[in-house]
Structure 1
């Protein structure tokens, strides 16, 4: 037990010493205005690069990801039909598709699928 404790302490001290040593001898980075600004073909940027993006794009991306995952879950359904009980497969598939249709109706009802707002 003493040997394990000694080895753990030694490895902890050695890694801490290496981290401190590399911090001390590393190059110091000076904050330069040109280096910290966003790159725009060598010219000064005309406006801030940190503008907030439209939440509409984020919402469309999330909906796309949800439908993408749904398709990935729907693709193996016909293959699993041959290896499982047909009644349980039909029940599970119907419930899954019903949940997807209810989710789509909810998104449509909330106006998430309308881009022109």
Structure 2
């Protein structure tokens, strides 16, 4: 798995978004904004989410949403936030075989004719 810095990952995402979203492309050009400060904003949002914990896992969509929000809003002030972030991009892998699906167990109830009842609880 190739590891990239958060700055690289955010920049790649925002560059690609600016290519496909003309409104964001204008916002992305703001002179008072930078990728470095954007990442500090993301660190601060992650710290809030961690609520005092030393680590937190955050999905890509949330992180990229914070990055876009940083560029959209003019009044965001970022204080000196320190943190360590690991970003991993998955490598293409071979196609995995689908896992077999378990079918529900059908049981017969005593005293009933040959109709089948579905049991969700197995043998209780």
**Normalized against structure 1, the TM-score is what?**
0.23
Which is helix-richer, 1 or 2? 1
Greater Rg by CA: 1
RCO comparison, higher one (Cα < 8 Å, 6+): 2
Which is strand-richer, 1 or 2? 2
